[in-house]
Structure 1
């Protein structure tokens, strides 16, 4: 661990302070979360604001875990939001010691305040969040909360911003902010510097000139360009059209689902169709010691067999051998005074 990661680890294991762990992409937030899940002695649960984020974090969605509605949650409400909880859910929350919220930049402040109310009611204490320690992980320069105008018209009477840090409970309790600065994912210092300037919206003339030199108005193969769109339907049409244009045999890889894994939480297509020459992007980090790929890495399919995809990434000499990867849909349950997990795969 570097100094910041060690500091975060010490705060989690030696104190009960709320910690906001932030940092740009590639600084080790996901690795820290994975190691914490495996090694912490605290009774913990991992939640995230969306289904895909929860799958990536190895946890549940916030709304599912706390049985929250999706609309605005007014902090002055006199309702008892835990009145419909089962005995099993109450016992689970009663045992909870550490709540980890990944992708915290997407979480609204009213959601945090409702979690605070639920935990205080369950644990029958006025300590913020019922005395449960929070680890909030995310990057405020990435995804922001999704909030409709009509919802914000109600919530703005209570909150100064739609971001999590405006939560009344969080303001009351305070938190420690730890920023990770060492980038492990990228090794090119010029590229890292460009990313930082764009991220901070303070780009120099020199950096802008470097970016503009990469612009090519007449690319040799426009099909390799990444297209950003607003709807999955458009994505599927573009990908399907590009795949049809490629020559060669079509290979189809079908996912195997065991247990409970709802369709809206699937991280990718159930039936993945590929041809040699297709451009692909990894959507998961390589958790092995080799760290051969990461979420967002792009390459081209160079060979296909019934159970293996061979991918060439840029100028890298070594082909990546890609086989079936396991994703799990987790539910928490109390087992012999410990918080255990049940999985769908």
Structure 2
């Protein structure tokens, strides 16, 4: 029996056949663990568009929903709905517009080139030497955090979302909250907006933005290099400019799908769901739905259209979507400039998580 709540399952098994079977035979599946599993693209979109029936206020990931809910409800944008969500998104969203991020985008491009050029000197662990360094530097700059703390925070975000030890995960999450409660931010893109939030809102949303902005982009970047190594013809097309960088970024996002699912709680009966039910929408399945994507199991950097759900959909569409695209595009461009061939030279290690998907280690040789 497949236990979707088991973090080890997602690291150790290829579930593509399982998702395919559910999409075909049981697209809205009742898991023995006491929650619903939604697998088709169209159904995931429909749930995301209806926060009145499917609320995030009690939690938005399986782990918190199964443990009784999220204590940040109403104060953290990710676990709020209605007026509270609109207010928080309106304030925080000003820091994530393309205009607000234009200066940071230039810095991202330079940092990506430096990191990739260093890695291209020979064998390296791309997950550690590039992917683990760029997103945390971006989020540190955005949040106005001292650069001396970035490495420490990167280790905490990994333990907080991908730790194999529940006690260690709990400690890491609390250490991040303690850090934000005690640190003084420097002037930056986001700190200027925080005066409009309460102390609890600042603490919880900085925590949420740091975790989301670091880990998911980190996994997408590493997954991109793994995919390019496994599909050399696609890599050479990208190198030659035969496919557009913009479509390549979107296919990387679809193919890697760093966040496996999102969770909601049902507020009113909507058959087959009953009030109080936990519903999980699995992006890991919806992004490979045959009804939405032609040849979904083919890595195609020129794929268009590409209506993937990696950033979610509806009111909770990822606030940092543009920023993540900028980072992925910068790394792809740096690879084009500095690298001819990509070869995986050691056993990759996958993250053990029922929420995140990707590699925590990827030994490669970049020539």
- TM above 0.5: no
TM-score of the pair, normalised by structure 1: 0.25
The structure with the greater share of residues assigned to helix is 2
- Work out which of the two has the higher radius of gyration on C-alpha atoms and give 1 or 2: 1
Q: Which structure would you say has the larger RCO, counting Cα contacts within 8 Å and 6 or more residues apart?
A: 2
> TM-score, normalising length from structure 2?
0.24
